[in-house]
Amino acid sequence: MENQTILDEKDAQTSETTEKKTQSDDNADYKSLYLSEIDNAKKLRKRAQAVEEENKSLKTQFETEAEKRMRKNEEYKELSESLTAKLDKANYVVEKWNKYETVRRDQLISKVSEEDRERVSKMDLDTIEYVVSKIEDAKASNISHKPGDIRKTLPEGNIYAQTPEKRKEFWNDYVNDKIVR
């Protein structure tokens, strides 16, 4: 309750200062206004994160207190049900992750050559992703390279502004180069 009143007071102060700043539009410094808005957003974000962390810690504290109370009162049936529900939720997440991991692993291993599949299949998922990305990067860089090939350049200037003989000569060379490849 105290936190709420402090927050309300701070919000009231910030709204008063923004009203004062917007009234004097003639000599407003937009950069400082922008920076003050950024600072305000940072403060609000930090405050929201602190509240979320506090909420999370209070929930875990409440759950542990409830568990201790049930053990003390020997309410094993309720305790067993709550722990079973938690375990079911965790098992569902683990099952989902394992399914994802096997599908992803199979996809990545299929990209590796036959000789290396057995060795790669023994690695963990992160390592396989790294190895496959390195293999793909190496393949991509070698595709466009042909030893001894010289890149043709276009004639200088506008090709249509040149004489018809030069255009025809360039075009014949260009077509012959494409046919050879």
Residue ranges per structural domain of the chain: 40-74, 85-142
Asked whether residue 50 carries a pLDDT value surpassing 80, the answer given is: yes
CA angle 53, 58, 59 (to 5 degrees): 100
Identify the DSSP state of 112.
S
What whole-number percentage of the chain has pLDDT above 90?
A: 29
Straight-line distance from the first to the last Cα atom of the chain, in angstroms, rounded to the nearest whole number: 78
Q: How far apart are CA 40 and CA 15, in angstroms?
A: 11
pTM assigned to the model: 0.39
Distances (CA, A) of 151 to 91, 99, 147, 177: 59, 48, 11, 11
Question: pLDDT tens digit string along 127-164?
Answer: 999 988 888 877 655 455 566 666 665 666 676 777 88
More confidently predicted of 66 and 37: 37
